[in-house]
Amino acid sequence: MKTPFNKPYLSGRETFYIEDAVKRGKISGNGVYTQKCQKFFEDKYGFSKCLLTTSCTAALEMAAILVEIEPGDEVIMPSYTFVSTANAFILRGAKIVFADSRSDHPNIDENSLESLITARTKAIVVVHYAGVACHMEPIMALAKQHDLFVIEDAAQAIDSYYTFADGTKKALGSIGHLAAFSFHETKNIISGEGGMLAVNDEQFAKRAEIIWEKGTNRSSFFRGEVDKYGWIDIGSSFLPSEIVAAFLWAQLENLEDIQRKRRAIWEAYHQQLASWALANGIKLPQIPNYATNNGHMFYLICKSLEQRTAVINHLKAHGILAVFHYLSLHKSLFYNERHDGRSLVNSDHFTDVLVRLPLYYELAVEEVIRVLREFKKP
């Protein structure tokens, strides 16, 4: 492939900071770089407390422990998402109640949620697909009314915002009780593998740190708050090493530049493909008024599975790799038998017709646009 689907961005300072971390002689977790990164996110986006994790998957697992999911508890989430969104709660014995996507966007349909709530419901997990906000205001209101926790799977949603009806603008990941971000190499800001838990509800702050450090109060110990540390809760090794945090720091220094570039590529696709898409019955992503675009992903909504296959093959023939995305989780081999049988038509539709175009810092976007415009409906 001349044009891969993704190419990790490097600022050039990654190995410099890694070398510095090594020279400092402390390369396990929660050192200087971990704290610099966490403070950066807290200051820039208004998260109350951030903890770097080894992945977004790990951050979601922490969230499931923090909201005290017990066997039989129900958790509502979209079917059109990554496996980890659900798996983190399955590990604690939850029953997943899958919701459908909106008809105009892969995000969870906020209007479908109320009818899914039962006496066993404990949490709603929203996924900000492509970094575009779910409709958080009605979702938070519903959660409050039914005393539920809201967890944001913000894996794709760094540097994106939601605007409330009164004009208040809040960063995605700062609205729910807890939020999980990913720094996997396919995301906007990367550290190879990596992630972060944002804790917005004060009641979770202390326990989050303990779960993060294998169930010990080691963080308090290092701050001098207690004179010895021990085992006080469940937990795991959720924190990344300083080497990972040092890599991430080099990315954060360039966050504005990365974001400007990614948004420009997204805009080029959006503007220059508009009439071609219309002529072929293909839909382009729309950003609702309450959301912003963080340039994470550009996708096409094809007319049919056949048309999507034809688009993918056309690009492939020109050395360009475009890829489809999630397969509805309620139909997965693992969950099919556990699902309650409701059909989720929009989730299944996006499974069949959505295709993602290459989007990375060094992409020659004009070339992809030129090749796509040669595609005529089959």
Ligand X SMILES: *Cc1c(COP(=O)(O)O)cnc(C)c1O
User: Which listed range, 32-40, 78-86, 159-167, 305-313, lies at the site for ligand X (CB under 6 A)?
Assistant: 78-86
> Minimal distance in Å, beta carbon 85 to ligand X?
5
Instruction: Please identify, using beta-carbon distances, which residue of 85 and 174 lies nearer to ligand X.
Output: 85
- Assign 198 to helix, strand or coil: strand
Q: How far apart are the C-alpha atoms of 116 and 373, rounded to whole Å? A: 43
CB 135 within 8 A of CB 110: yes
Give residue for tokens 């403070």: 39
Given its phi and psi angles, is residue 328 left (phi above 0), alpha (psi -120 to 50 degrees) or beta? beta
**Candidates 95, 122, 187, 261; catalytic one:** 187
Q: What letter represents residue 50's amino acid?
A: C
- Assign 178 to helix, strand or coil: strand
What binding mask, one character per residue, do residues 148-187 give for ligand X by CB under 6 A, x or -? -----x-xx-------------------------x-x---
Instruction: Please identify, using beta-carbon distances, which residue of 57 and 200 lies nearer to ligand X.
Output: 57
> Minimal distance in Å, beta carbon 184 to ligand X?
4
Give residue for tokens 């001349």: 2
Q: How far apart are the C-alpha atoms of 371 and 17, rounded to whole Å? A: 40
Token readout for 43 is 């200051």
Q: Is 44 tagged catalytic? A: no
What binding mask, one character per residue, do residues 121-150 give for ligand X by CB under 6 A, x or -? ------x-----------------------
> Minimal distance in Å, beta carbon 240 to ligand X?
11
CB 120 within 8 A of CB 100: no
Taken as a whole, the chain contains a residue count of: 378
Q: What letter represents residue 56's amino acid?
A: C
What binding mask, one character per residue, do residues 188-227 give for ligand X by CB under 6 A, x or -? -------x--------------------------------
By CB under 6 A, the residues from 21 to 60 that bind ligand X are 55-57
Token readout for 95 is 């029953």
> Minimal distance in Å, beta carbon 62 to ligand X?
12
> Minimal distance in Å, beta carbon 195 to ligand X?
4
First-residue to last-residue Cα distance in the chain: 24
Instruction: Please identify, using beta-carbon distances, which residue of 106 and 235 lies nearer to ligand X.
Output: 106
Instruction: Please identify, using beta-carbon distances, which residue of 226 and 323 lies nearer to ligand X.
Output: 323
Q: Which of 249, 343, 326, 352 is nearest to 11 (CA)?
A: 249
CB 79 within 8 A of CB 98: yes
Q: How far apart are the C-alpha atoms of 174 and 45, rounded to whole Å? A: 7
Q: Should residue 82 be labelled a site residue for ligand X when binding is judged by CB under 6 A?
A: yes
Instruction: Please identify, using beta-carbon distances, which residue of 137 and 153 lies nearer to ligand X.
Output: 153
Instruction: Please identify, using beta-carbon distances, which residue of 78 and 307 lies nearer to ligand X.
Output: 78
> Minimal distance in Å, beta carbon 193 to ligand X?
6
Q: What are the catalytic residues? A: 187
Binding site for ligand X (CB under 6 A): 55-57, 81-82, 84-85, 127, 153, 155-156, 182, 184, 195
